[in-house]
């Protein structure tokens, strides 16, 4: 397990590895950690150049970025438990991390077990494509419900993104909502159904890292 240290006070990171029996497992881990450390160096440098407004968004402990990853090359799974940037810095966090993951674990499947924020969902769709939906947990006016298996038929990742964008467009836009959010809060997602609009509390999604490109 690797955790953030004194070298990168602006980065709160926990990386867990299940190396398995593969002969190259340790070498892959070492190369991955080297590249990840270089990314953390850049994040730390960028955080030190923030203006006072953006520094305030990082809280008293000065954490600008939070990352929690679990990597299991034997199962070919990478669990992205958390990825969040608390402030506005000149560095595209998700694409930087994704390039490192693709470089060292291109045969793995990226799984987000509890995807909540619209912005991360949009980034996944933009750079990898539409992931498979495994579970979607919704909250309506009267009740909460979990969609899985057959209940997901006809529901797509793109539809949730479209309904979310429509929700904010009809309410003065995402920029206004983002400005109103407290630091550490993500923009919620929404689904418009026959019985009205429901908030997407979380969803579990997965997609192969061999998908997508970095074309802008």
pLDDT 10s digits, 149-202: 999 999 999 999 999 999 999 988 787 777 777 666 789 999 998 779 999 999
Instruction: List helix spans (H) across 76-201.
Output: 93-104, 118-128, 157-169, 174-180
Domain count, the chain: 2
d(C-alpha 109, C-alpha 134), whole Å = 13
Domain that holds residue 123: 112-216
- Which of the listed residues 82, 107, 132 is the one where a domain comes to its end? 107
Q: What is the mean pLDDT of residues 17-25?
A: 81
In sequence order, what are the residues at sequence separation of 6 or more whose Cβ sits closer than 8 angstroms to the Cβ of residue 143?
Answer: none
Q: Do 20 and 103 reside in the same domain of the chain?
A: yes
| Same domain, yes or no: 12 and 79 | yes
Are 79 and 148 within one domain? no
Query: Measured between alpha carbons, how far apart are the two ends of the chain, in Å?
Result: 34
Among the candidates 81, 107, 133, a domain finishes at 107
Same domain, 14 and 50: yes
Residues 101 and 119 in one domain: no
Tell me the pTM.
0.87
């Amino acid at each position: 397990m690797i955790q953030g240290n004194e070298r990168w006070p602006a980065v709160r990171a926990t990386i867990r590895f299940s190396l398995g029996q593969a002969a190259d497992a340790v070498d892959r881990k070492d190369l991955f950690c080297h590249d990840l450390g270089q990314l953390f160096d850049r994040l730390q440098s960028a955080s030190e150049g923030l203006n006072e407004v953006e520094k305030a968004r990082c809280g008293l402990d000065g954490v600008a970025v939070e990352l929690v990853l679990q990597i299991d090359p034997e199962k070919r799974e990478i669990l992205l438990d958390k990825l969040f940037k608390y402030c506005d810095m000149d560095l595209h966090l998700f694409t930087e991390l994704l390039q490192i993951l693709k470089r060292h674990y291109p045969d793995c499947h990226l799984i987000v077990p509890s995807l909540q924020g619209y912005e991360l969902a949009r980034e996944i769709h933009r750079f990898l494509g539409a992931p498979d939906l495994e579970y979607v947990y919704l909250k309506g006016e009267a009740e909460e419900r979990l969609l899985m298996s057959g209940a997901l038929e006809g529901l797509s990742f793109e539809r949730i993104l479209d309904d979310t964008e429509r929700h904010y467009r009809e309410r003065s836009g995402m920029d206004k909502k983002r400005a109103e959010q407290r630091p550490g809060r993500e923009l919620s997602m929404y689904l418009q159904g026959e019985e009205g609009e429901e908030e997407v509390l979380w969803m579990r999604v997965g997609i192969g890292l061999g998908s997508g490109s970095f074309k802008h």
